[in-house]
Amino acid sequence: MRTFLNGRFENTAFCLLAPDGKTRLSRSHRSPTHIFGGGLVDSLGEIAKKYQTKGEASEAAVPDFPTFSLGLNVSSADQRVIVLITGTEEELKGARKELPALSNDPDVIGKFHYDFETDSKTWTKALTGDKSTSRIKIIVPDEYGQSGKVVKSFPLDTKTEDLKKALLEANEAFAKTTEKKNYSTHVKEGRRQGIKWTMPMEFGEDRDGDGKIDHRGR
């Protein structure tokens, strides 16, 4: 992040990169609006024309979190249902081939988070409900992403249309029963409850670029 912000480390950074993950296609700054202003959509469209999709979009890989705890936490923050796929390495290999058709479905894409896990120890303690393995579980996260509830559980070979129906039903129910979070109220209550989340990267910003995180206030 420092390389994009002239040596500084801040909590947001933005830059468009080419498919090689290295070539910069835009200047870098704190956010898209700092670079494109109100012309973001048109600018993205012009750049995208130079990089046409290769292959079928419906075959794009299913996003996967590095850990279930992170996936649950992010799902709670985004207020999304998370889909946990469990099984052996071989079983998950097959699931990764079958699920893209569902995750990239126009009615489904962008509405859910996903996580693939082979070790049951990484998720059983955080969940209530079905804890059997080799399953596809639809999970609703709690307010702060510390735990989750399995609302539906399916075998890995469940038909795509059945999974789609269950996912959309779960998403609709979650949206109807979950109040949109207010950031300041949410953070205040989390502090009151003593809830903390530790990331591998040190919390804070280095606004002056001296290489050290600035710890100001709380």
Across the strands, what pairs with 127?
A: 148
Tokens of 17: 């990169």
pLDDT digits (tens, 9 = 90+) for 102-157: 999 999 999 999 999 999 999 999 999 999 999 999 999 999 999 999 999 999 99
182 falls within a domain: no
Indicate the pTM of the whole model.
0.83
Q: Domain boundary at 28, 48, 68, which?
A: 48
Q: State the residue range of the domain holding 17.
A: 2-48
Backbone dihedral angles phi then psi of residue 117, each to the nearest 5 degrees: -135, 135
Backbone dihedral angles phi then psi of residue 91, each to the nearest 5 degrees: -65, -40
Q: Which helix (H) or strand (E) holds 86?
A: strand 81-86
Are 62 and 170 part of one and the same domain? yes
User: What CATH number is associated with residue 152?
Assistant: 3.40.30.10
Tokens of 127: 């969940």
Supply the mean pLDDT for the chain. Answer: 92
145, 167, 152: which is closest to 99 by C-alpha?
167
Q: Yes or no: say if 208 and 214 are a contact pair by the CB < 8 Å rule.
A: yes
Say whether 89 sits in a helix, a strand or coil.
helix
* Ordered per-residue pLDDT tens for the chain, 218 residues: 888 888 888 888 999 999 899 999 999 999 999 999 889 999 999 999 999 888 888 889 999 999 999 999 999 999 999 999 999 999 999 999 999 999 999 999 999 999 999 999 999 999 999 999 999 999 999 999 999 999 999 999 999 999 999 999 999 999 999 999 999 999 999 999 999 888 777 778 888 888 888 876 54
Are 62 and 149 part of one and the same domain? yes
Residues 131, 141, 179: CA angle, nearest 5 degrees: 150
Q: What is the spatial distance between Cα 47 and Cα 43, in angstroms, rounded to a whole number?
A: 6
Number of structural domains the chain divides into: 2
Say whether 45 sits in a helix, a strand or coil.
helix
Are 112 and 30 part of one and the same domain? no
